[in-house]
Chain A
């Protein structure tokens, strides 16, 4: 029972262009949604979050959009940089616990 789904295993983008990573969820009771970034041989690191009462949150080059009616969120990275190449995990929180998606590998080509 996958409550959080990232349907694109990988994404390749040219440097300077926009990267859009998508995430769908099934449980309407989630309170917060987060994106984590992971480099090889390291643990995930927090990137950006959004409360379920908002529809947009920005932090520099990163923007997260939440569409509650569609149970969908997306992460936009503009402009994409080679250092953004990593695995991106979407996560949803209720109570003290997070549910993670399977991740999307982003490759930014220079």
Chain B
């Protein structure tokens, strides 16, 4: 059982380039989330989805886009990369909400992105 899989693990982008961070989960979870973690900071919510076809903004959505065409996949798109988007990105999923004792957030291992 793979859980939450993120690809790629590492990526270096030039300013203005675009890329998609992939996230897939095989637990049939409804809820999926994208977080970023900057040094010395907590995880900040970028976007989340409560089911296929439904997405919503989190705390720091600017510069990102998401889509949720299937239950399994939740890709994060950066259209015009900026140095401020250098961070570690984590995808997570849960069913039904992230606070349930028996259904906490399951995280992927992250994508480390550098924009230069």
Contacts and interface: CB of A to CB of B under 8 A. Distances in A.
B104 A43 contact: no
How many residues of A sit at the interface, in one of the four size bands?
A: 20 to 34
Interface residues of B, number: 25
Contacts, number: 64
B108 A98 contact: no
A93 interface: yes
A2 B45 CA distance: 13
B2 to A, nearest CB: 13
A102 B40 contact: yes
Given A102-B40, A102-B42, A45 B107 contact: yes
Given A46-B105, A49-B99, A96 B90 contact: no
B61 interface: no
A49 B110 CA distance: 23
A93 B43 contact: no
A31 B40 CA distance: 25
B58 A43 contact: no
B110 A43 contact: yes
Interface in B57-116: 58, 90, 92, 97-99, 101, 104-110
Given A42-B109, A46-B104, A93 B99 contact: yes
Given A34-B99, A49-B99, A93-B97, A98 B45 contact: yes
B14 to A, nearest CB: 25
Nearest to A4: B42
A38 to B, nearest CB: 8
Given A34-B99, A93-B99, A43 B42 contact: no
Given A6-B42, A41-B109, 4 more contacts: A41-B110, A43-B107, A89-B42, A96-B48
Interface of A: 2, 4, 6, 9, 31-32, 34, 36, 41-46, 49, 89, 93, 95-103
